[in-house]
A and B are shown apart, each in its own frame.
Chain A
Amino acid sequence: MIKTVNLTKIFRTDEVETTALNEVSFEVSKGEFVAIMGPSGCGKSTLLNILGLLDNPSGGEYFFLDKEVAGFSERQRANLRKQNIGFVFQNFNLIDELTVFENVELPLIYLGKSSAERKKRVEEVLEQMQIVHRKKHFPLQLSGGQQQRVAVARAVIANPSLILADEPTGNLDSSHGEEVMNLLTDLNTNGTTIIMVTHSQRDAGYSRRIIQLFDGQLITENIKA
């Protein structure tokens, strides 16, 4: 599903040049649950952004669904992204002005689905995430765990084949964190590929493979039994 070859990302400011990713090569197959770990500033999030088609690499190749996408324009990336990738963020990134229902509905709107179809699908997913009773609330009226469940609902609404999660439990207490991890595991069991960046050994424990990054370089890949 995903393959990177010598992926490199360099940030430049006027005087300083920082190498965030240095020739990172790895593959993720369909249906995998991969955790990316490493200390702060090692390039985890940069890697996730490139994998999520939010950013372009400075060098190397990136194959997404067997297509070389490293040189795609913003519009092309947006198109590919909205059909195939769902995101879960550490700070949830829900739009405060929209209700739970509307937040979850958003990706379907950008996919151009009809209103009836959207309604049906949103109800379905909210049901699945056990948050349907909160659908008319605004994000700020919810607890952190509830907000993250909404975010997960939003990530899966369009049936993406890949979910990218950036520290999904980072802002949650342990019980809420566990809830979210269980949700992700369930999704994975149903066939969704998941790539998750995390600091937490415990969260990483839910994955089947751990990729360790350090100073922008891939050091180890542990495949769990």
Chain B
Amino acid sequence: MFKNYLKSAFRNIIRNKFYSILNILGLSIGLIAAIFILLFNSSELSYDKHHEKHKRIHRLESDFTISNKHDLFAVTSAPLGPAFKIEFPEVEEFVRFAGSDGILIKYNDKEFYEDDLYYTDSTIFDVFTHEFVYGTPENALTEPNTCVLTETLAKKYFENENPVGKVISDADDVNFKVTGVIKDLPESSHLKFRGVFSINTLVERFGRERMNSLEPGAFWNVNFYTYILLNENSNIESIYEKFPGFYEKYMKSLGDQINASFEFMSTPLADIHLTSTLRSDLPTGKKAYVFIFTLIAIFILLIASINYMNMATARSSNRTKEVGIRKVLGAVRFQLIRQFLTESVILALIALIIAIASVYLLLPDFNQLAGKNLVFGFNQTPMIIFWIFIITLITGLLSGSYPAFYLSSFMPVKVLKGKINTGAKSGWLRRILVVFQFIISIAMIIGTIVVSNQLNFMRTKDLGFEKENILVVGLQDTSLRKKLPTFREELLQNPNIINATTSNGYPGQMGGIIVMRVEKLEKISENTELTDTIKNTQNTDSTTFHTGSRMVEHALNFTMLDYDYIDTYKMEIIKGRNFDKEMGTDLEEGVIINEAAAKELGWGDEPIGKKIDFGVNLDGTAARYTKVIGVVKDFNYNSLHNKIDPILFFLSERPRDVLSIRIDEKNRQKALEFIEEKWYEFGAINPFDYDFVDKTLDEMYEAEDNIGRIFRIASVLSIFIALLGLLGLSSFIAEQRSKEIGIRKVLGASVSSIIIKLFKEFIVLIIVAFVIAAPLAWWGLNDWLSTSFIYYIGIGWLTFVIAALLAIIIGLATTSFHIIKAANANPVDAIKCE
């Protein structure tokens, strides 16, 4: 029996080539999209699960409250991990990572700058699972100045040699002995290091007191990613319960002094990638995107399934005879349903084969598109193949379900007598399905337009400074840094170099946060005792108040820079003045703040002259007692996902490690060549390795960029599949209505009037779809914009007009072929053949 189903299924597919190709093409594209999205999502959801103990590993994080303001960090202080292990029996082990980028590594004549290197505790291999290629985990990082490299990094310096026991060195000629080589970290690791150095190196360099101290001061300075491994049968909750005691013991004394408090937070290892939104975190994914992509995959498959349903029921008149005969010969309905479902499943399986082959071919392109490194195959991803097979079966069954139940319901007597007008009966359903397809397609078009508008907006928004034509280069090289003033003078001799400045950060990578003391204005009633405050009396209406001020602690972002920073970046001073070399006091006593700072500190329109104590020591003294000399217009020093936080500029007494150079746009290449020449002329040993600021800023929108691209492709695909359906449907309708068209023409209808009449029927469907899609899309996209960005575009009516027109134009273009053909046909043929 089944063989018979297969036979007639294959013959039907072959006999109706046009419709079969449309269906298989649509289903294949749908499945290709589904496979890619499945690969993407399963990679997103699999982060860090390759560590055997991942269920027991938690990352510790920091929640500081300073002056009633919360600041959440993905990093913790150095002693938090060790102190947790001492105090909480639940903690079996801890490991800390302190990251360093742009480190120069030298071995023999090879030297490169390397990113993603970390100083880490030797316990790393007890907590995490890493496979050793050379060496063993035991004692791998216990000694100072030892390191473990990943395979790729090891190959880069040692090629195919076993590097264990060999020595590499850094820019300061500090030596590191290689004690092991591990396999490269899987793509799905939230912390992707290329090499780890023993943390004891730092202990040796900076002193035991500073690195391993459990003094209160050490707990308030965060720069380590800290992971703890819990004992079996322990849970993190019991640590939360006991934490107040811990705080009391180690941290409270200093916290009270600086008017701050601290809570620890934690995230299970496997959740970090998709949930973290903390400051100083590594790049993460977003749960929302996993959700959106899943939805897109389902939609695309639905559109393809609907195509099948539509075409199958539309052509049902051709199948009714077969149904009738089979029924007469004794087939019961159930058997017919099985037969039709077999047919649709076979079609889906053919599509699956095409889809799998296409995914193999397209995977490199997709990886580039999604910024991933995914693999696909029967051996590599058997579960995904299994699931895609299940999805294919479901798609096949879903596609076939309506035609199967519908066709099998025909009464044999009626169909054999040709009494059933199948086309008209299912016409309404077909219309609804087409409308549904277009709802999805139009929503996708709107989505594509909005996402790309937002991306464009982010790239072109006035950031408060000119990001174009500034290059930044690291000055790790102390010898060059010492000669910087002359180096800068030499550079500026060249007309293609406009300005240059050094600082310890640049837009995109700016601002460390630190507790300062700032002047706080207060209205205090007359009889309050004011000690230690500055008083002046002022009459407000009839009541007399002292408007006093006192110094309070406040955590604020700051950057160290030189006199030329604001000019080089072309920022705007809106109050007061820029730093001035002529004013000898600016170095020690001047600070420039941004508008947001003036607002947050409650200084209203008169921020100039307000006091800020910088570098506050535990004994209450400060390194600098400064006053505000100027206010810079707010500028986006972080990505547009974040609002502009207060930031303070202090002059640095010596050149800092980031050199920013503004060059002439017209002669970029000449300028670059000139700088490079001078760079080596001044004896720099490090390679001239620069970035452009605008490019670095763009990289902050990589996630959105990927989303935008995937959206664009998904909407093109869904529209394409929907159009395949429309093509099939228009061909069917033109065929079915050839008699009506013939009669109309005999009665005097013109070709154009018939074309218009048929077009109208399709346009109505598209318009109905638009009316439903537009508000849905508006709502969804507004939600996305307002939750993902602080600065975002409004969704204008033009977007909707473009989407509607686009849908109508491509809809008409698709249907026009068959409609025009039908309208131009000789009416005699149509009438005669009935």
Contacts and interface: CB of A to CB of B under 8 A. Distances in A.
Interface of A: 45, 49, 52, 54-55, 74-75, 78-79, 81-83, 87, 89, 93-98, 102, 105-107, 109-112, 154
Q: Which of A83, A110, A112 has the most CB of B within 10 A?
A: A110
A106 B330 CA distance: 9
Given A95-B322, A97-B11, A98-B7, A75 B332 contact: yes
Contact of B322 (A45, A49, A97, A111): A97
B624 interface: no
Nearest 6 pairs of A and B residues by beta carbon:
A82-B330, A110-B330, A97-B11, A107-B329, A54-B413, A55-B413
Interface in B392-439: 411-413, 416-417
Given A78-B331, A107-B329, A98 B413 contact: no
A97 B12 contact: yes
B235 to A, nearest CB: 60
Nearest to B15: A97
A94 B332 contact: no
B325 A95 contact: yes
Contacts of B11: 97-98
B315 to A, nearest CB: 13
Per DSSP, chain B at the interface is helix
B691 to A, nearest CB: 66
Contact of A49 (B7, B325, B332, B413): B413
15 contacts: A54-B413, A55-B411, A55-B413, A74-B332, A78-B330, A78-B332, A79-B330, A81-B330, A89-B416, A93-B321, A93-B324, A93-B325, A95-B8, A110-B330, A154-B329
Contacts of A98: 7-8, 11
A200 B583 CA distance: 123
Nearest to A83: B330
Contacts of A83: 330
Nearest to B328: A87
A106 B339 CA distance: 13
A102 B7 contact: yes
B331 A110 contact: yes
A55 B413 CA distance: 7
B1 interface: yes
A65 to B, nearest CB: 16
B106 interface: no
Contacts of A93: 321, 324-325, 328, 416
A79 to B, nearest CB: 8
B330 A111 contact: yes
A70 to B, nearest CB: 15
Q: Which of B329, B330, B417 has the most CB of A within 10 A?
A: B329
Interface in B323-364: 324-333, 335
Nearest to B335: A110
Contact of B326 (A45, A74, A79, A95): A95
Contacts of B335: 110
A97 B8 contact: yes
B657 to A, nearest CB: 77
Nearest to A45: B417
A114 B325 CA distance: 21
A65 B598 CA distance: 102
B328 to A, nearest CB: 6
Given A87-B328, A102-B7, A107-B329, 16 more contacts: A49-B413, A52-B328, A55-B411, A74-B332, A74-B333, A78-B330, A89-B416, A93-B416, A94-B325, A95-B8, A95-B325, A98-B7, A102-B4, A109-B4, A110-B330, A111-B330
Contacts of B329: 82, 87, 106-107, 110, 154
Given A78-B332, A97-B11, A97-B15, A106 B413 contact: no
Contacts of A154: 329
B360 to A, nearest CB: 33
B413 A109 contact: no
A98 B11 CA distance: 8
A83 B330 CA distance: 8
Contacts of B324: 93
B57 to A, nearest CB: 60
Given A93-B321, A93-B416, A97-B12, A54 B328 contact: yes
Nearest to B412: A54
Contacts of B12: 97
Contacts of B7: 98, 102
A97 B331 CA distance: 17
A74 B327 CA distance: 10
Contacts of B331: 78, 110
A110 B5 CA distance: 12
Contacts of B416: 89, 93
Contacts of A96: 15, 322
A45 B417 CA distance: 10
Contacts of A74: 332-333
A49 B415 CA distance: 13
Interface in B8-33: 8, 11-12, 15
A215 B99 CA distance: 98
A6 B331 CA distance: 30
B330 A107 contact: yes
B447 to A, nearest CB: 43
A105 B321 CA distance: 18
A203 to B, nearest CB: 20
Nearest to A52: B328
Contacts of A52: 328
Nearest to A158: B330
A49 B326 CA distance: 15
A54 B416 CA distance: 11
Contacts of A110: 326, 329-331, 335
B701 to A, nearest CB: 55
A74 B328 CA distance: 11
Nearest to B323: A95
A89 B418 CA distance: 14
Nearest to A91: B416
B3 to A, nearest CB: 8
A138 B333 CA distance: 25
A97 B761 CA distance: 34
A83 B8 CA distance: 23
Nearest to B5: A109
B15 A109 contact: no
A51 to B, nearest CB: 12
A45 B419 CA distance: 14
Nearest to B10: A97
Contacts of A82: 329-330
Contacts of A97: 8, 11-12, 15, 322
Contact of B327 (A78, A89, A111): A78
Contacts of B1: 109, 112
B793 to A, nearest CB: 56
A82 B329 CA distance: 6
Nearest to B417: A45
A107 B416 CA distance: 17
Contacts of A109: 1, 4
Interface in B127-178: none
Nearest to B416: A93
A54 B413 CA distance: 6
Contacts of B333: 74
Contacts of B413: 49, 54-55
A110 B329 CA distance: 8
Nearest to B324: A93
Nearest to A110: B330
Contacts of A107: 329-330
Q: Which of B1, B4, B325 has the most CB of A within 10 A?
A: B325
Contacts of A55: 411, 413
A148 to B, nearest CB: 14
